[in-house]
Chains A and B, each alone.
Chain A
Amino acid sequence: GAGVSQSPSNKVTEKGKDVELRCDPISGHTALYWYRQRLGQGLEFLIYFQGNSAPDKSGLPSDRFSAERTGESVSTLTIQRTQQEDSAVYLCASGRDRGEKLFFGSGTQLSVL
């Protein structure tokens, strides 16, 4: 595709429910990131996929968070048993390789009631 695509754009869920967020990176991009951005805050690193290497999961805040990537394509971020503090915009970004610019998706606005 022309850019990084994320779905859904908005998700409202009840506390305790599981949610799945999807990211379609730009074709051919080996690097894929997930970041979390709370209202008025910075970009909090969550997880990094680079080609076929083991992902860097060091930013995942708890074991309720997990992410997968199929080869060099789609990635899903799953949050189990959502809490109100999970409310944020979740941004996905992809890049051609190390040291290359990142292209960001428009994000998924997650609201946990």
Chain B
Amino acid sequence: QQPVQSPQAVILREGEDAVINCSSSKALYSVHWYRQKHGEAPVFLMILLKGGEQKGHEKISASFNEKKQQSSLYLTASQLSYSGTYFCGTEIDWEYGNKLVFGAGTILRVKS
């Protein structure tokens, strides 16, 4: 049930763009995106819900393809502060339970 993230790691220079992908083999109710900096707790970035609703930061953009059970997080004009590990989490679309399970993470490093 764990979603699959790609790439595992990416290195950018400031100002460059990146895309992080997340896919599931199950029908999804929601996809969550969180960022974790070293030694800190994960912090919420965005939720994408079945049916098209999105909740999150204005400066973060993401997509959710419900037919393919895939989501992508778009990081544009990257800044040094974007560095960290990005986790996608998925809630399966099932009436009786929908725990949030996370992927293995994508390490993003932005260099000056």
Contact = CB atoms under 8 A, between A and B. Distances in A.
A98 B98 contact: yes
Contacts, number: 54
B103 A98 contact: no
B73 interface: no
A105 B103 CA distance: 19
Q: Which of B29, B55, B98 has the most CB of A within 10 A?
A: B98
A45 B32 contact: no
Interface in B96-112: 97-105
B91 A43 contact: no
Interface string B74-101: 0000000000000101010000011111
B12 interface: no
B62 interface: no
B3 to A, nearest CB: 10
Given A56-B99, A98-B29, A105 B49 contact: no
22 contacts: A42-B103, A43-B42, A43-B105, A45-B101, A45-B102, A48-B97, A48-B99, A56-B97, A56-B99, A93-B42, A99-B29, A99-B30, A99-B49, A99-B91, A100-B47, A101-B47, A101-B55, A102-B34, A102-B44, A102-B100, A103-B44, A105-B41
Interface of B: 29-30, 32, 34, 40-44, 47, 49, 55, 87, 89, 91, 97-105
